[in-house]
Structure 1
């Protein structure tokens, strides 16, 4: 195979890419899980107001929105390896900053550090598309799902490392809530090392070389690629209704998931305070933090653990049928909260269903987007998709704090139910037009 050592086939290279991406997702996921579990609690504790509960998640989402296109541009120019490692390096700086938020009680430092962690989230999102660079068309959903699944172990472990992280923090002379971010920092650095070793040759660059050889007869030793303008991504979304539709389904799924998930730690602290007679604005006790970490870890397991299955389901059952299924699961999640808003068990079940719904929608929608555009515009469109996901996450987390303060957690669930119903109608009408 051109551009590869003779003993390595393209299929073998793809397997190595999947292994490397999966390992990096696992390691970086530890940081994501810790920030989800602790970030909103720190925001409430430092600001003294639940209206700011979504501030850390908002900063993470804004970073995802602002960095997705630059990372996509960097991938086009320098390859996936450079783009992903840059994202994880900035996230490592964010984890370092978060270590010092509890002792300094600095709200600006919280926002800046969370923003840098959000760049790592954008890299995680791009990694799922990196899995499709060399994938066979009939296996894109499966390979994408495998990489999404790989984050499960790290992301599920992250929230459950609150207690061990607290011990590490005390050993280093830091507050308990600083400790999990020490583990996050180590995970990000390890992810960088894995990608630097494993993504050689770079999958996107190699895919571009293969495409040029097939169309132009360019020698594999010549300098690769024609650069695609990121403006092409916007143009493709405007010109291709099906690509726009797929992005829309993913974006609304992310909006719903982030809005509800980001307020869950605050709601669980409310429930604990009600049972103990304490204040919901007081720093969370360690046992409450452990419960929150456990619930968030189950939610993250729902987001990622079954993604290979959902990828195969999307390949065999169809992308749009899977999208409809996602809306049904979103609705079930919302109903759990509406019917059992004061039950910790109901909230836990709701969060698991929320994660499953997000996974089904994101895997099927992302695969739909990748196959709805041309080869030349695929990476820019993927970057636009991730940018819009970041915008949706920022809007969801920013507005969710206000909704929580005004209408409570149940109000968030009603909004999520309405979004799921509207998106389901949109999917069904799109299917009828397509047929």
Structure 2
């Protein structure tokens, strides 16, 4: 029998192929054990299932400073989230400190940068979920105040925006107490859910003892190839959501519809802010999916595939209700016809909608818990959302939807520069206990 001791000699140098195999096996064993591959070791395989997904948009940035807050007329990215808080600040000084902290953190997170390093004996200053280099990832954070903040705690009661109120339930609502209202609403939007979550955790960490998270809802919208013709994103009913939305690039239109103007009847500090509505609207998708297509389209008032009105060919076409007074083309109780009558007063009731779809697992009855995170901005809450919602009360679509949470808020004016901070004008306007000048 041939002597094969040499081939099994452990002291013999390994072949290049064997060295590569051993290195790969060692790295794999470390990964399986939850270890970290040391610097200089072999890189991960190009086709590893655990590799981080790649994207060319992680360095996208939106400006933070300006007349208005970002995240309102800013183009909507794929991932969104709203988080509502009760403010626990004990006095005006602590409230100002909180608003300054919010300003500083949002400004940093939207631009990105390297996370600070501290003595490892202390908790790390960052959660680390994005790594040591925090990417901006197209993030915007928008801060809005609820009616409950304008009470006697901080002397803000006389300065409450005139049309800001606690959201009342409509006839079809089934509002859950734990999913409604709040002193402060933060809206996060970015390219990925992890960026929103990172920003939320950063803010909570940096405001200890001042914020109590009341409720939150995450959402998303489907992404389309950049070369495709622009269209509104689809909701979980399969229809395009956002058709006939006012053009956010039209500054004059936004001044009429979205932004509170300096010469309005609102408190002077509120100029350049906006009323924000957030509604968590559950969709009964199982029932909807068993409804005939022609009935679905009649309920909405649009063709499902194209998004066009019944008397049009494209989503952008405007329905002619004057030529259809009896509703033979577009039913009189169709959602789009009730929401926007297309008459001489239509512009007074327009809102800038910025919704996301949400999916929260399954309900106790075993149904899919999903729907629409409805978000809208307007200069006049009463002429905007409240008027339109009253028109929609009793519509056929109610059989398939159930609002369960949300609230009314006022999005603060923008932060003008690095010396300014969120809510400064409000605090300075509140009398003898003036905030320190920025």
Q: What is the TM-score of this pair, normalised by structure 1?
A: 0.25
Larger Rg: 2
Given the two structures, how large is their TM-score scaled by the length of structure 2?
Answer: 0.25
Task: Decide which structure has greater helix share.
Answer: 1
